[in-house]
Amino acid sequence: NTSTLAPVLVSKANAAQRRGRAGRVREGKCFHLFPSFSYNKVMLDFLPPEITRMRLEDVILRIKALKLGPVTTFLSGCLDPPDLETILRTLHFLRDIQALKPLPPAAQPYSGPSSSSSIPVAQLSRMSKRQRERVMASAIESGKAAVAAESADSAVEEDNDVLTPLGHHLANFPLDPQCAKLLILGALFCCLQPALAVAACLAFKDPFEVPLGQEAVADAKRREFAEDSQSDHWAFYSALREFRQLRHNDRWNFCRDNFLNCNTMQDLLRLMQDFVELLYERRYIRSEDMDDPDVNIYSHDVRIFRAIIAGAFYPNFIMASAKRAKSGGVLYRSSTTDEKIALHAKSVNNGIKPDTNIWFAYFEKMKLQHNAASTLFDTTMLNVRPVVFFSSKLDNVKLNNTDYLKVDDWITLHSNPRIPQLVESLKQCLDHLLNDKVRNPGPTNWDESTLEGQIMQTIVNYFLNEAPPIFHIPTYLQKQPQRGTGGFGRGQIYGRDRGQSYYERGPEDYGMDQGGYGRSQDDYGRGRGGRGSRGFGGVERGRGWNYTWQQRR
């Protein structure tokens, strides 16, 4: 079971197919790792139909886009219809990501319980015991049928949804809705390359490898690629960006030194190009060139990257509390308050200590075997404003005569009472913009003389004008493990506002400074000839035993 990483029994048909492989070329033997009792009494003859096992988000979005009626009614006509609970759970998820908008159900007058089948008590008293048992059994069956009919009616009422402007866009992509949403927001906010890289890694596989016995070094390399962004997703983008800049002959060495799978990286580049062509065909971008500067205006700004990650992965948020658990560890909380959350050891955010409440976005949550807590493998630290902007519900509340903002009924923030109204107005402008792009698709127009340019620039400024989260990293995570005789360091400068400023993180907090985009100077020791100086955006080959990252101003 890939969702829980737990072993499950195959079907008898699968076992027979494996047995056939053993004798395909010549006589052979097949050893099945299960007892005969399981084969005879437990295992199914065939796997359940795929429609009962697969995710239904893409199917439901297409049903809504084609206006085929209520989803529950349409899917009930399948030879093996999916479970009703699965359909309703998927509908709730699509509402949560703001792809569907429920309409209020029509009011139904309540007629009260039916008494047409009631039997007088006097008549029951004259019946024999066997007759009374028959009457009771008939009444129970009638009650079950009535409950089933009422559940079906309520399910149809719950299925009374329409596509939102965002939902119309998502229905045009043959992808997981959250990956499709990431591509759309990446194209819309001109942060395309990071969106392509993250969507490719999430849709295919993680390119990082963790060799047995070298976990600490591999984790340190992953943190190096994260470039102080506190984002596993930024590490994906950074690794693919540097991989693309290398010549073909140098890529294998790069992957070997950085614990990356070279074949996977090649597949990810092809998938990124497929996504670019998909966006071009749907007229979100002007060309099939992913390096087009017009769609990468904010590709190197981690604040906009965090914003599109928040918008794409909502409602997959967790909060790291400034309060410590009894064990001294970090307390993580999700919208489901009774759920235990843990970050996987390979995540770049594992082990950080927040000084204030900090929010993270994640793509997938797994319940591992023999682990009481749900485990997150990929996370991105978020600023507060994207959390507020992409939420579904904002309310003003007063606590001890102090104004607070309640976000989705579980996040409480100090706020001005006017904030909800202003944010809702800005979100409505974005919805109108998306709705207009359904009818008239085209790239983002940043000209501030146009309404679209004013809306987009206002939203971007809202995200940019915010201080970053405050946290510190334990000493044991700051010390970089050594691999062989070669050492490695990591740059501490990244992010920019169109080349005007960057964030610099010290050992205890984030600070602001002025300067250009670049990396701090770090030395890499290698046993063979390395590279000469390298600034961001290009590679200059050199002859020597070491190569250096030069800060570029």
Could you give the CA distance from residue 219 to residue 349 in angstroms, rounded to a whole number? 11
Q: Is residue 364 part of a domain?
A: yes
Partners of 504 in the β-ladder: 493, 511
Written as six digits, the tokens of 105 are: 């159900």
Q: Is residue 79 part of a domain?
A: no
Chain-centre distance of CA 442, in angstroms?
26
Could you give the CA distance from residue 204 to residue 3 in angstroms, rounded to a whole number? 15
In this structure, what is the dihedral angle of CA atoms 471, 474, 477, 478, given to the nearest 10 degrees? 80
**H or E stretch covering 374:** strand 374-376
Partners of 317 in the β-ladder: 361
Domain that holds residue 32: 1-47
Q: Is residue 509 part of a domain?
A: no
Q: Is residue 42 part of a domain?
A: yes
Greatest extent of the chain over all pairs of C-alpha atoms, in Å? 106
Boundary residue ending a domain (47, 70, 85): 47
75 φψ region: left (φ > 0), alpha (ψ -120 to 50), beta (else): alpha
Q: Is residue 142 part of a domain?
A: no
Partners of 397 in the β-ladder: 404
Q: Which residues contact 546 (CB under 8 A, 6 or more apart)?
A: 523, 524, 525, 526, 530
The string of DSSP codes covering 37-100 is HIIIIIS-SSPPPGGGTS--HHHHHHHHHTT-S-HHHHHTTSSSPPPHHHHHHHHHHHHHTTSE
Written as six digits, the tokens of 49 are: 């139909």
Q: pTM of the full predicted structure?
A: 0.75
Domain count, the chain: 2
Q: Is residue 149 part of a domain?
A: no
The pLDDT, as a whole number, for residue 398 is 87
Q: Which residues contact 117 (CB under 8 A, 6 or more apart)?
A: 139, 142
How distant, in Å, are the alpha carbons of 67, 160, 166, 432 from that of 438?
Answer: 16, 22, 9, 10
Placement of tokens 């007063």 in the chain: 398
Q: Which amino acid is at 274?
A: D
Contact 393, 409 (CB under 8 A): yes
Q: Is residue 409 part of a domain?
A: yes
Boundary residue ending a domain (403, 438, 464): 464
Could you give the CA distance from residue 62 to residue 79 in angstroms, rounded to a whole number? 19
The pLDDT, as a whole number, for residue 322 is 80
Q: Which residues contact 534 (CB under 8 A, 6 or more apart)?
A: 540, 547, 548, 549, 550
The tens-digit pLDDT sequence of the chain (553 residues) is: 565 556 788 899 998 888 888 888 888 888 988 898 998 989 999 988 888 888 899 999 999 999 998 999 999 999 999 999 999 999 999 999 999 997 765 544 444 444 444 555 556 566 666 776 777 777 777 766 665 555 544 545 567 889 999 999 999 998 999 999 999 999 999 999 999 999 999 999 999 998 888 999 999 999 999 998 999 999 999 999 999 999 988 999 999 999 999 999 999 999 999 999 999 999 999 999 999 999 999 999 999 999 999 999 999 999 988 877 656 677 888 876 667 888 998 999 998 888 888 999 999 888 877 777 889 999 999 999 999 999 998 998 888 888 889 998 888 888 888 888 999 999 999 999 999 998 889 999 999 999 999 999 999 999 999 888 877 776 545 545 544 433 333 333 333 333 333 333 333 333 333 333 333 334 333 333 433 333 333 333 333 333 333 333 3
Placement of tokens 């990810």 in the chain: 268
The pLDDT, as a whole number, for residue 452 is 94
Boundary residue ending a domain (464, 482, 503): 464
Q: Which residues contact 22 (CB under 8 A, 6 or more apart)?
A: 28, 29, 30
203 φψ region: left (φ > 0), alpha (ψ -120 to 50), beta (else): alpha
Written as six digits, the tokens of 541 are: 């080959």
Placement of tokens 């390395």 in the chain: 530
Q: Is residue 3 part of a domain?
A: yes
Contact 420, 408 (CB under 8 A): no
Kindly state the DSSP code that residue 175 receives in the 8-state scheme: S
Partners of 493 in the β-ladder: 504
